[in-house]
Chain A
Amino acid sequence: MSDVENKPGAGRIEGGIDAIVIGADAEGLTAAAYLGRAGYNTILLEAGVDIGGAVCARELSPGQTYVDGEHLISILDPAVIADLDLYRHGVSYAARCLDTAYFFEDGETLQLGGDLQMAAAAFDDEETGPAFQKFITDVFEAAAFCRPGFEAGPASDIEKAMRAAPRALAARLNFFSLAPAQEVLDAYLPDGALKTALLCEAGFRSAAAPHEPFSFMTLVRRWAGEIAGLQGACAYPQGGAIAVVTALRRAAQAAKVDIRAATGVASILIEQDHAAGVVLEGGGQIRAPIVVAAGAARRVFMEMIGAATIDIEFQRAITAARPQLASGHLHLALKGVARDEKTRGHMNRRLVYAPPREALRRAFADARAGRVPSDLMIEAVFPDALDEETGGEKMQLLSAIAHPLPFDEAPDAARRDEIEKTILANIEKFAPDIEDRIKARALRLASDIATSTGAPAQDYAAPPSIIEQVALARVASSAGYVGGLYFCGREARIGAGLSCAAGRMAAKAALFEAKRGGRAA
């Protein structure tokens, strides 16, 4: 298919390729699939043996696997699903619109339907109900408005849209984007369980604490997501989040993308300020006028291209981050089925433990200071209860994400033990006596996921405030002004969770430029 030439002394040089995508995580697969569908002869290169990046299946105990990386989807780009026909390639929802059960320190619980607008309309409290409805209406409107901004592609013209916003919406957007989540919630809602729950949602998986500036946007970003047409919802795909990656892979293969695992890239060829292909770790070269990189910005720009070629401001922006916080994933294989009614009643929901406001603030302060906080936010699901196909009778899986934890490059055994115990203690708050039923466990910290994917640990740290992410994504997606190079790595993504928007935008930018260049020629 592709032309293979042998030049003396230059190793193997592969030509006739239109586009190279480096990194086969969800964003890389997305970019490759888009390029392939546009008729470009595309090669997707992955240094590791697994396709899918952080999201992959791992064995927890014999016969039982868990999905690493993500356990739910909430901000998956609907355009990617539609454009790449992901439903046809195998994505389906085991639970399309998950209800959430919130648990609080005092033993109270609160249930919210997965359709938040309906949940607000049905909220059974004279004071909180109308306030919640107003809150949902305002935040959903703002979130939908901001959506193009969260895609952060170079072609996005959020500025124009923002300038055209009606005055009241603009004032609200201004407030939402700058204010701490705590302030916005205080402005809308009376004190109570609902406020505590939403405060936790706003701080979850972010490095911006809910009492600190810019933190409300974390919630706005999440609620800009849309699952099967339902804004702000969470879904559990059949087979777990890995099903999305599998479908993306199928979409890429259907678009005739040549996927090559275990093929590391040593450097990106730059000729006259324009990407010209890649040099492989094995020594060969692949030449192509379009290179899309999905790895970490530091690796792509500092190692694959080299500091000498890259603008100093750009270098500063992409190397400045020093993460302090991270989330931890804990997967538990449980013996038998839960005996207590409380747990059983909630197993087909998304379960969230929401610590009180003060505890949450202290937790962020502790984690930032490098201590393991005693109170953690927990988001847990019982995949087997959600997904009947994989559910076992005798054994059950619980997947939980805990936040905020201190970010460690390489935690030692004692630290891991402390983290695991703390997460379990917080899970016990809503699933009592769970510890007795644990048969196998897997703690996955940022450093563990990094070891599996070969990326630096800080790639899996908690992302900073959304404003900082949007600013950084703008910088990163400029790809250091190297023509023909497009970036959809971690720094180009906005929000925590599987999104694929950066991959789509990188591919779109590449196609747009290629067409423009073609016409000019």
Chain B
Amino acid sequence: MELLDRYLQAVKKFLPLRRQDDIIAELRANMEAQLEDKESELTRPMTIGEQEDWLRKIGPPMMVAARYQTQQYLIGPSIFPVYWYVLRMAMLWALIIYSVVIAVIIPITTSNGSSVVEALLRIPSVLMTVAAWVTVVFAALEFVAARYPEKCPPIAGLSGNWSPSSLPPLEKESDGKRKGRSYPQAVAEIVFGFLFLGWLLLIPRHPFVIMGPGVYFWRSSPFQLADMWITFFWWIVALNVVQLIWRCTDLLRGTWQQSARLQQIAYKVIPLIPLIQLITVRDHVYVALKHPALDQLRHGNSVDTINKSVHMGLLVVTAIIAIQLAFECGQLAWDWYQKHDASH
């Protein structure tokens, strides 16, 4: 029967080389016996259409051959939970590291804002590369574990030898009121923190990133910023660096759920220092004229008004932060008092 021969030939192509002759011989014997049975039932040879129906019922050659193959997973169920965990961690850390790198490198090397956009657009390809490498490593592990199970040690956390005492302690909410940060939220804060730092560092060389087209108006205006703004700028940079270091440390130590009270106080104290410097500056000069001799008569009053407004604004901001600081300190003292009281 030509059709059966063609069918078996097609099956053979998908079988493992070492066993294909043996499998095909067996399959042929079984199918020929079945064919004989069918034809003796019909008392005539099967028509081409009947043969096609019969073979169609058995299945496509590739599927029939696949049943003879050893079942192989790219990443099997035994290591999939570990793979999934490692994949998420690798991608989160890749995102953090990439953000740090672009936040540091771009302000040093870039000459225009498009580099920031290009760096951001590269994020998906970076993440896909990391995911591909993690998948390749785990696929290799699966391959080795399937062929040499006796040589593969059980994966920690998935074997029966784990100890319940190794479970991490319960994650407590520090004051019972505020909801703790989730892990993705903590990671997102770090990523955006680094991106913000990069943007901040671009400002001195490229004021366009903060002022937009207004920078051209500012450059052509008769005004200029006083020098103390440079000190203020670097204080803001320092505050962001401290925050990022603290957040990274929290993430590495596994304590990202809630900022320590001391951290919250530090975040209020650090900006107070440059703000106090600003409000105590001599004569409250924040904006000055580029050419006083030429423009004093025309723009002198405008400069005075601007300086008074900025001073008032700075006073309000300082007062708000000082009140928040006092509140934090009060809460800290109250918590300490309650703990102290409970222990006696």
> Do the two chains bind?
no
- Give residues in B with beta carbon < 8 Å to A: none
- Give residues in A with beta carbon < 8 Å to B: none
